[in-house]
Amino acid sequence: MPLLARSANLGLILLVMGMIAGCAPDRAYRSAALDPAVNGADWPTCAQCRGDASLEHRTYVTKDRVKGDYLLGFVEFDDQGWYHDIRQKQLLLSRLKAMDADQGEKFLIIVYAHGWKHNARADDPDVSEFQKLLERIDVMEGARAAAGAGSPEIKRRKIVGVYMGWRGNSISLPLLQEATFWTRKNAAERVGSAGAKDLLPELKNFKRVSNKDRGNDDLGGPNETQLIVVGHSFGGYLVYTALHSQILERATRLRIDGEEAYYGIAQSFGDFVLLVNPAFEGSIYEPIHNFAVNRCYSPKQRPVMMIVTSEGDWATGIAFPIGRLYTFTQSAPQDGERETVLKAVGHLNRYRTHHLRIQRTENDQPVSEPKTVIPTNEKRAEAMADAATAEMNRQTGGAISKTSVYYGNAYLEPARPLRANYPYLVATAEKAVIRDHNDIFNENFIDFIVRFMTAEVVSPKKNEPPDEPSDYPGCARFLSSAPPVK
């Protein structure tokens, strides 16, 4: 055998051996059997946990000496989307039901599906960052309750984190990890099509029971149990795979008033869905987009879903379309269709609704301290004028003008004219907000998300169900088409 052929064969053998040696096992990293939970005050805190329990009662103390605690559950899935150990889910739900029944607790439940190259190991960076996020949200909830002290209507809720673990890291060798793009995308899809479609509805059902929701699937109020689902990277694809049909169905629900049929408030799954740097093609977002732009929304409409993608996200901006080059073998005859098949949803102008930016100083530097006011009188005047325009459009069903909405240092600037109260947000974040694909737990973005959720989801002003049609003259009703927003 020629030397070149023998060398090639040897290289291939070494590559295969390296991949086998570096293969991360398809197993659970959290054991339901190690759960320390007993009843009531005897349940130990995280200081006594070993780092491999599927249910933890974690405590913390901030640098400002604020003390708090929260519940953190792990539910893991194998490569086919099955539960590694269904007792993880059962343990979490039984604990929540017991706290609801025995103590009358209400909960703010945050579900997080991690992305590519991560799992549920105790030393995984996403695990520790998710814990910090839960601490931040618990502090927020404490401040909200303290601000309403003395009012029986304001109650502090228990923060519950649910970490959805899957085999996002199938090979531990850094260089070989890049070759797992296709297999990990497929694995995320299987989890989203299987186990996640069981776990997420179970959590939603618990929310309904906790809130004594008798069948309307209502959004939770600020003192009720609420459910927020977050996904990153292929975890965003996992979440979208599990929920997109239900989100679309909730957008299309009709209210019947005699002979008249019109669209009611578009509801989220749970209370809100957030996808950060999600790694899925725009073409599978098209059905929601098509319907969303062809109806109108009540002033009481709350956000349904937000997709945020960093302009510096090379993984979804460059690597993702390279990984999708095989789709050129498929037909895509419609105008713009090829691009939506090739590119990730957050990189398509077709779907973009907003830019997520940071307030800047006169020297064009990001401001260092969060501010909740518009920085200049001129911008404030512009905002007031736009607010008046938006109010007029609520009455006519037209498009709103470009009104930026501020959340601390960050603000959402519309990328195009939108219908009033449009609830399906697709935002491109500048690098000062999210630097790249994995920079999702930085202070600027977390501050924005906590403030956004506080204002729009956790303590919304838009809480009551509508008493009037959510569409206005000139907007689509059932079996009609809305005029385009220009």
pLDDT surpasses 90 at 399: no
Tell me which of 8 and 250 has the higher pLDDT.
250
Residue for token digits 């150990």? Answer: 85
Instruction: Record the tokens describing residue 267, joined without a space.
Output: 């509801």
Q: What is the pLDDT of residue 478?
A: 52
User: Which of 14-18, 337-341, 478-482 is the most confident on average?
Assistant: 337-341
- Give the pLDDT confidence score for residue 45 in this predicted structure: 52
**DSSP H/E element including 255:** strand 254-257
pLDDT band of residue 27 (cuts 50, 70, 90) is confident
- Which two tokens mark 171? 């090979």
Residue 440 phi, psi (nearest 5): -100, -10
Give the pLDDT score at 328.
92
Alpha-carbon span 209 to 212, nearest angstrom: 5
Is a pLDDT exceeding 70 seen at residue 313? yes
Give residue 347's pLDDT: 97
Q: Report the C-alpha gap between 74 and 134 in whole angstroms.
A: 14
- pLDDT tops 90 at residue 445: yes
Q: What is the DSSP letter of 31?
A: B
pLDDT score for 429: 97
For the chain, give the percent of residues with pLDDT over 90: 53
At 459, the pLDDT band (50, 70, 90 cuts) reads confident
pLDDT 10s digits, 58-110: 999 988 888 899 999 999 999 999 999 999 999 999 999 999 988 888 999 99
Q: What is the mean pLDDT of the chain?
A: 81
Residue 289 predicted with pLDDT over 90: yes
Q: How far is CA 215 from CA 25, 208, 219, 457, in A?
A: 42, 8, 12, 21
Give the separation between CA 239 and CA 188, rounded to whole angstroms: 9
| Amino acid at the residue 183 | T
CA angle 380, 386, 388 (to 5 degrees): 110
Structure tokens at 328: 């050129």
**Mapping DSSP to helix (H, G, I), strand (E, B) and coil, where does residue 181 land?**
helix
Task: Give, rounded to a whole angstrom, the gap between the first and last alpha carbons of the chain.
Answer: 68
Residues ≥6 apart with Cβ < 8 Å to 218: 211, 465
pLDDT of residue 191: 97
- Burial class of residue 190 (count of CB atoms within 10 Å of its CB; 0-12, 13-18, 19+): buried
More confident residue, 170 or 207: 207
DSSP-derived pairing of the beta strands 399-400 and 418-419: antiparallel
Q: pLDDT, tens digit, for every residue of 168-206? A: 887 876 667 677 888 899 999 999 999 999 999 999 999
- Between CA 179 and CA 187, with CA 184 as vertex, the angle to 5 degrees is 150
CA–CA separation, 8 and 307 (whole Å): 45
Distance CA 485, CA 87 (A): 50
Chain segment 232-258, per-residue pLDDT in tens:
999 999 999 999 999 999 998 888 877
Exposure on the CB side of residue 415, measured as CA atoms within 13 A: 18
The predicted model gives 383-407 an average pLDDT of 51
What integer is the mean pLDDT of 350-374? 71
Which segments within 48-131 are labelled E, that is strand?
A: 55-61, 67-76, 107-113
Q: What tokens appear for 324 in the block? A: 């999708």
